[in-house]
Amino acid sequence: MDNSIYESMTAANRLLEKQNIISNNLANISTTGFKEKFIFIIHNNINDDYYNNIREYYNLTSGGLDHTNRNLDVYVKGDGWLVVKDANGKEAYTKNGHLNINQKNQLTIQNHTVVGNNCSIIVPNNGTLNILSNGVIQLIQNYHNHIIKNKIGSLKLVHLPINDLIHKENGLFYLKNNSKKANYNTIKHSNDIRLQSGMLESSNVNSAQNMIELISNARQFEMQMKMISTYNQNAEYANQLININN
């Protein structure tokens, strides 16, 4: 009896964990470049490991495209990623191409400094930025009716091993600690990573699918709680019978 209660409690906890992930997906429907996450609970009861086997899965397919016509908005095509530094100075990866310029004249994404391709990107105060499809950043200036274009750096674009990615609460992707060093292809060595300026990739969350999963998990959780209640009642009846017989 106790083992049955344990199994139902474990299942309920895993369903709650799954529910939190789905709720987070739905909360980020409007988040630029967000990738939805799912977990699969593998049902087994081998070695008292019932419902403990979990596999995470990120849907890395592209979301829809929003035309912003803003020169600092870029869409990273295919399986390319932008590179930023988090608050701890660690490299992280994102599909969010909404770039801004901070007070230090650095390019940022969600207040995280954008990493350049073997360079530090410092934006001069005068002129307009133009980001080319290969990640090169141009400064366009007008001197006496003459347009001058100067390269001030380029964005670091990388390919990443999909199975080694993990998404953290700051909204950025990282490589798992136990993964091997990524086989990076910077823009200098890659011809297949391309950008489209004036566009942003929207969230790829499927609201209908996630709502169905949310309702299904709620019903499964309710079923597990009813099973726990039934187990408790049966235990009480059993104890009463034992007391009567004694």
Decide which of 18 and 50 is more confident: 18
- Please tell me the predicted confidence (pLDDT) of residue 191: 58
In the block, residue with structure tokens 């009896």: 1
| Residue in 223, 164, 156, 205 with CA at minimum distance from that of residue 184 | 156
Decide which of 205 and 47 is more confident: 205
- Please tell me the predicted confidence (pLDDT) of residue 200: 97
pLDDT, one tens digit per residue, over 72-83 is 999 999 889 999
Question: Is the predicted pLDDT of residue 193 greater than 50, yes or no?
Answer: yes
Q: How far is CA 128 from CA 56, 70, 125, 199, in A?
A: 42, 11, 9, 17
Looking at residue 102, what DSSP letter applies? -
Question: Is the predicted pLDDT of residue 218 greater than 80, yes or no?
Answer: yes
> Does residue 20 sit in helix, strand or coil?
helix
Beta-carbon contacts of residue 107 (< 8 Å; ≥ 6 apart): 72, 99, 100, 101, 113, 114, 121, 123, 137
Beta-carbon contacts of residue 125 (< 8 Å; ≥ 6 apart): 105
Sign of CA dihedral 167, 135, 124, 142: negative
- Please tell me the predicted confidence (pLDDT) of residue 52: 54
Conformation bin of residue 44: beta by default, left when phi > 0, alpha when psi is -120 to 50: beta
Question: Is the predicted pLDDT of residue 33 greater than 60, yes or no?
Answer: yes
Q: How far is CA 225 from CA 18, 22, 39, 48, in A?
A: 16, 20, 21, 19
- Please tell me the predicted confidence (pLDDT) of residue 43: 59
* Mean pLDDT value of segment 90-110: 95
Provide the whole-model pTM: 0.78
Beta-carbon contacts of residue 97 (< 8 Å; ≥ 6 apart): 32, 33, 73, 74, 75, 76, 82, 109, 195, 199, 200, 201
